[in-house]
Amino acid sequence: MSLPRFYPIFDSADWIARALPLGVRLVQLRIKDRPDDALRIEIARARDLCRRRGAILVVNDHWRLAIELGCDFLHLGQEDLDGADLPAIRAAGLRLGVSTHDTAELDRALACKPDYVALGPVWPTILKPMKWHQQGVEKLTEWKARIGGIPLCAIGGLTPDRARLAFAAGADLVAAVTDITLNPDPSARIREWLETAP
């Protein structure tokens, strides 16, 4: 299964609405600490935006709402896996991506038969505090050897220049968050990403 190579992650449907007309075809909606009603509205809007553009929406964490709203793809971190009902997720037809940081987490992820595996942070990240400082591109090569045909996503501290290194090391797709959202010209940066990861 192949996925688009550029995978931006946003915290609102507004960001997704900005990105899709530029050519983004795979996007994650990652919203933390919002009430269910607000989440439902954002996820439904993002779902509809992506469907109109023929793009893939990945919902981070909120698996019950993803099922309820008929979404197609879910991303779970290791902590999210603890409370997730994987049989219900699979019965709903949701594809699944899983975050990993070390070999134990990779083994756990592979047991879920994921549709992609994410490794991070490949470079230091400012997005959130993590006990893993920097995995390095060498670990991408190691992970790819272990997971074979499952798509590998590099995340954490990515820029377009670093994305080239990640691809060379074995990543199939690259995720970006703050490199876009904190950029003074996010639209131009998205276009640069799309040229780097067509």
Alpha helices in the chain (DSSP H): 13-19, 36-53, 63-68, 78-83, 86-91, 103-111, 137-147, 160-169, 178-181, 186-196
Residue 30 bears catalytic tag: yes
Cα distance between residue 119 and residue 102, in whole Å: 8
CATH value at residue 174: 3.20.20.70
| 137 within domain boundaries | yes
**Secondary structure class of 95 (helix, strand, coil):** strand
**Secondary structure class of 146 (helix, strand, coil):** helix
Whether the CB-CB separation of 33 and 11 falls below 8 Å is answered with: no
pLDDT value of position 127 = 61
> Among 2, 52, 128, 131, which one carries the catalytic annotation?
128
- Residue ranges making up the domain that contains 108: 6-196
Residue-wise pLDDT tens digits, 65-94: 999 999 999 999 999 999 999 999 999 999
Residue 99 bears catalytic tag: yes
> Looking at the predicted structure, is the pLDDT value of residue 96 above 80?
yes
Residue-wise pLDDT tens digits, 97-156: 999 999 999 999 999 999 999 999 999 876 656 565 688 999 999 999 999 999 999 999
> Among 47, 53, 95, 99, which one carries the catalytic annotation?
99
Residue 2 bears catalytic tag: no
| 150 within domain boundaries | yes
Q: Omega into 21 within 30° of 0, i.e. cis? A: no
| 52 within domain boundaries | yes
Distances from the Cα of 40 to the Cα of 31, 64, 69, 149, angstroms: 11, 10, 8, 33
Whether the CB-CB separation of 186 and 176 falls below 8 Å is answered with: no
> Among 5, 30, 53, 162, which one carries the catalytic annotation?
30
| 1 within domain boundaries | no
Number of domains in the chain: 1
